[in-house]
Amino acid sequence: MANRKILHLLQLDPTLQCLSHISSHELHRLIHIPLPLASTILQQIQRMNVPRLIEDYAKRNIRLITILDPLYPSYLKHISNAPAVLFCKGNVSLLQHKRNISVVGARKATEYGIKLVSSFIRPLVREKWLIVSGLAKGIDSLAHKAAIEENGKTIAVIAGGFNHIYPKEHQQLSDIISKQHLLISIYPPERRPEKWMFPERNQIISGLSLGTFVVQAAKKSGSLITAQFALEEGREVFTVPASIFAEEFAGNINLIRDGATIISSYKDIVNGLLPMMED
């Protein structure tokens, strides 16, 4: 079911208890979906053991936060096509954190990129900034680890469900985040990640913060997709100067051309975002 249809249904019935007794014709009429799809959805719900599912989620510290829940992050609520439901594992109070910076970058981090993470992210964490990223190889995982090592907080947004962490070698990192920080998905735990889910994840990464720091990006990369979402939503995008001859940073050069803020210190991020938080 499309996100906007779920949102419409939540607005009509925040508890979704109607799904246990309405007919496919009623669901079709309520949210304007094809009758065969309404029938399929209700059949799937009827086959589910909802009480057992809720009990399983509770045992695994998984919570469902809808867009109508007071805990739903305010920054994310204001993006286009904001997800109607978030699957959360960990400290859901972090959803209310306001001093957030999203950090993205290449999976194959260069020595320069690694140094940037250390010199920018660690001092931001020490000044109580929460780090949002995507649990990917390279810059993303380095940003999460920097937050953890500096005794700060981090949120990881993943493409599939919690049962299918990608990449697999980040299972241990995801376990730490889901216990001490926060892991987010818009899909149930059993859903395997697919290629088209990653842009959705990127929009959520940028949507959880007022600003996104692109550490290192090639000409074509997921980091640029995240940055584009941020720019479209009127959020700040930060990047660093780099050699025009370095292919690994061609995306950074393009971002500067497209209006990203050039920074040379973590304080540039702080100075750029704090006034926006006070508005």
> Per the structure, how many domains does the chain have?
2
Residues 32 and 104 in one domain: no
Residues 212 and 111 in one domain: yes
How is residue 133 written in tokens? Answer: 């990223």
pLDDT score of 170 more than 70: yes
Tell me whether residue 73 is in a domain: no
Tell me whether residue 72 is in a domain: no
Q: How many CB atoms lie within 10 A of CB 270?
A: 16
Residues 104 and 194 in one domain: yes
Length of the chain: 279
Tell me whether residue 247 is in a domain: yes
CA 15 vs. chain centroid, Å, equals 24
Structure confidence by residue, pLDDT tens digits, 178-219: 999 999 999 999 999 999 999 999 999 999 999 999 999 988
Residues 143 and 214 in one domain: yes
Structure confidence by residue, pLDDT tens digits, 220-253: 888 999 999 999 999 999 999 887 778 889 889 8
Query: What residues contact 33, with CB distance under 8 A and at least 6 apart?
Result: 1, 5, 27, 41
Contact 138, 169 (CB under 8 A): no
Tell me whether residue 187 is in a domain: yes
Residues 104 and 205 in one domain: yes
Tell me whether residue 67 is in a domain: no
pLDDT score of 279 more than 60: no
